[in-house]
Structure 1
Amino acid sequence: MTAVLRRNGLGLLAWLAGIVFFLPIAWMTLTSFHSEQDAATNPPSFTAALTLDGYREFFGTGGGASPWPALVNSLVASAASTLLVLLLALPAAYALSIRRVRKWTDVLFFFLSTKMLPAVAGLLPLYLFAKNAGLLDNIWLLVLLYTSMNLPIAVWMMQSFLAEIPVAVIEAARVDGARLPTILARVVAPIALPGIAATALICFIFSWNELLFARVLTGVVAETAPVFLTGFITSQGLFLAKVCAASLVVSLPVLAAGFAAQDKLVQGLSLGAVK
């Protein structure tokens, strides 16, 4: 009886936590369908008339700038950097988990230590480098930057995933004459696919949401969606409904990617949790 009550209590607590996390998203969605006047009322009005004016403003039908270039830039930077991260992290994780190099724990600590530097501390050197190299307002600079930022986390995650692969499977492939690229592509990658999917999704989310470097290193040509979103915040006038509409649209690709990969994500994040 006690175990049943404990299980039901944990289930109820999980539902309450889910509702608490979902409420801001639901509130943002509702606000995005209100007029600016209704969105700015205090206390908020739940019965206010619904309108699509915020979405029209975001997509530039009222004469504003189109968001499509910024959305495409974010997609290119996030997808390309995620692909590069996976291509580099898979052999690195293989060397740190299956064919372990000497002092592999020190290598992992070094990867983790690179994330301890505050992002703003590297902003000025990166800006000066981009300026002298003629790479300001260049989407490929963001691709390389996001790749370097996400690679340590990807190596850490994939090292734990690859450590669960039976060594006997890899040894059997090696006995059959398979070389390292073949082993990685046809043996390691299919087995670790849930972990690779979880790593890819997290790297994609980090790249899509990045604002600081994109704000400083881009202008018009390579402007990303988060940078475009900040343009709706002004010191005068009402902008809450428009910002909510823009935030919802910008969040949709990440939500769609998470929904599409939810099975692989759960498998990847729980890989190795049960022996």
Structure 2
Amino acid sequence: MRNARDKGARGKGIGLGLAAWLAGILFFLPIAWMVLTSFHSEEDAATNPPSLAAPLTLDGYRDFFGTGGGASPWPSLINSTVASLASTLLVLVLALPAAYALSLRPVKKWTDVLFFFLSTKMLPVVAGLLPIYLFAKNTGMLDNIWLLVLLYTSMNLPIAVWMMQSFLAEVPKPVIEAAQIDGARLPTILTRVVAPIALPGIAATSLICFIFSWNELLFARVLTGVVAQTAPVFLTGFITSQGLFLAKVCAASLVISLPVLAAGFAAQDKLVQGLSLGAVK
């Protein structure tokens, strides 16, 4: 009987493993196809069915980086980097004390506070686009990268507070009490006691906020022009009235995705630890 159960459990594990591999391959295939297409010429990329044995070329990447006479992507990439990093840093500065108050030193009706943070995400972004545009126009902040920093901060702050509240709830309270007995004040407790313990959760929150900011398109498309143009907006410039340049778009998409992929790969251990830290045990 026990051998039969072991065989059944082993067979179930093998089946789940195969299903996981199949799902991973299905998710990876579009990315692999995009990488392959980025190294094809426009003529080969537009063939139907597409040719796997087509000759490889770097023309798509030359066009993206402007070596062929096109616009340079570096200002847009720098704008995206500034907006994403600055907004993520500002989110952490604001979310850490808020999450501390909602978890380790809970305020009255803290569940209502969390619900309020969540309710701010229920409004469709496009519904607030017109008043934000009018505000930016009247204050002279159109095509300003710092306006995007403020918008991305407000957009990611509710998510960051929700995530970090669950992470900070796992921090042992006796450690904080010991720091208070030693005379540590709140800023010292947050930076030297809470932050190192909750570092995996903070890293996971930072990565998610960075990805959301880097990928944001609607605000950047409407509120920026040339000076504060971000990388996703620059990417849409490859779709013109002359048609869709598939190879160029694939090359541009791959290059623009590299910072997010690199950040996720570098922080993958912290991301896994952070997501498991806030899990329900």
TM-score band w.r.t. shorter chain: over 0.9
Aligned 1:145-224 pairs, distance under 5 A? 145-224=151-230
For the pair 1:252 / 2:232, whether they are aligned, the reply is: no
Q: 2: CA distance between counterparts of 1:207 and 1:142?
A: 9
The 8 Å contact of residues 70 and 228 in structure 1, kept in 2 or not, is answered as yes
Give the C-alpha shift of residue 237 in structure 1: 4.0
The 8 Å contact of residues 136 and 218 in structure 1, kept in 2 or not, is answered as yes
Question: Residue 149 of structure 2 corresponds to which residue in structure 1?
Answer: 143
Going from structure 1 to structure 2, the CA distance change for 1:13 and 1:123 (only over 3 Å counts) comes to same
For the pair 1:29 / 2:29, whether they are aligned, the reply is: no
The DSSP-based 3-state class of the residue aligned with 2:240 is coil
- Alignment TM-score, normalising by the size of structure 2: 0.97
- Partner AA of 1:249 in structure 2: V
Can you list the C-alpha shifts for 1:128-163, whole angstroms capped at 9, x where unaligned?
000000000000000000000000000000000000
Instruction: Identify which range, 7-16 or 80-89, moves more after superposition.
Output: 7-16
For the pair 1:59 / 2:65, whether they are aligned, the reply is: yes
Give the C-alpha shift of residue 272 in structure 1: 4.0
Q: 2: CA distance between counterparts of 1:122 and 1:128?
A: 10
For the pair 1:269 / 2:275, whether they are aligned, the reply is: yes
Q: 2: CA distance between counterparts of 1:232 and 1:38?
A: 18
Q: 1: CA distance between counterparts of 2:75 and 2:231?
A: 8
For the pair 1:75 / 2:81, whether they are aligned, the reply is: yes
Question: Residue 129 of structure 2 corresponds to which residue in structure 1?
Answer: 123
Q: 1: CA distance between counterparts of 2:241 and 2:130?
A: 27
Which 5+ residue runs of structure 2 have no aligned equivalent?
1-6
Q: 1:225 aligns with which of 227, 231, 245?
A: 231
Q: 2:94 aligns with which of 68, 76, 88?
A: 88
Instruction: Identify which range, 200-209 or 9-18, moves more after superposition.
Output: 9-18
- Partner AA of 1:195 in structure 2: G
Give the C-alpha shift of residue 273 in structure 1: 3.1
The 8 Å contact of residues 40 and 238 in structure 1, kept in 2 or not, is answered as no
Q: 1: CA distance between counterparts of 2:192 and 2:9?
A: 45
Going from structure 1 to structure 2, the CA distance change for 1:272 and 1:231 (only over 3 Å counts) comes to closer
Structure 1 stretches of at least 4 aligned residues deviating more than 2 Å after TM superposition = 272-275
Q: 1: CA distance between counterparts of 2:279 and 2:132?
A: 39
The 8 Å contact of residues 103 and 166 in structure 2, kept in 1 or not, is answered as yes
Number of aligned pairs?
A: 275
